């Protein structure tokens, strides 16, 4: 899992690696600064992923972001959310022992 996340966050792409890392950290650790115009989508992915809509993505496209840029941000946020939930599960299992 660590290799996949390192590749996702560290590989060249439309977005800078520092932005992908900030999005990942914002969702996983509730730390990290995400630009204001991207924060709503990142927070939705973190807390209410089922509520992400076409309108959210259209809003970013209309703001000038490319499909690849948006895709990379969504992946970074989803990976952060997945890790947060995975780690919470491990803590719960450890606490049940």
pLDDT tens across 24-81, in order? 999 999 888 899 999 999 999 999 999 999 999 999 999 999 999 999 999 999 999 9
**Per-domain boundaries in the chain:** 2-95
- The answer, as to whether pTM is greater than 0.85, is yes
What band does 94 get if pLDDT is binned at 50, 70 and 90? confident
Collapsed DSSP state (helix, strand, coil) of residue 96: coil
Q: Which of 8, 41, 43 is nearest to 27 (CA)?
A: 43
Helices (H) and strands (E) in the chain — how many of each? 5, 0
**DSSP 8-state symbol, 18:** H
pLDDT tens across 5-28, in order? 998 999 999 999 999 999 999 999
């Amino acid at each position: 899992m660590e290799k996949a996340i390192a590749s996702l966050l560290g590989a060249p792409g439309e977005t800078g690696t520092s932005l992908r890392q900030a999005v990942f950290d914002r969702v996983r650790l509730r730390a990290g600064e995400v630009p204001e115009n991207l924060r709503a989508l990142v927070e939705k992915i973190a807390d209410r992923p089922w509520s992400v809509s076409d309108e959210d993505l259209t809003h970013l496209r209309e703001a000038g972001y490319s499909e690849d840029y948006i895709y990379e941000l969504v992946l970074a946020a989803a990976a952060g959310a997945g890790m947060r939930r995975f780690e919470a599960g491990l803590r719960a299992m450890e606490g049940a022992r």
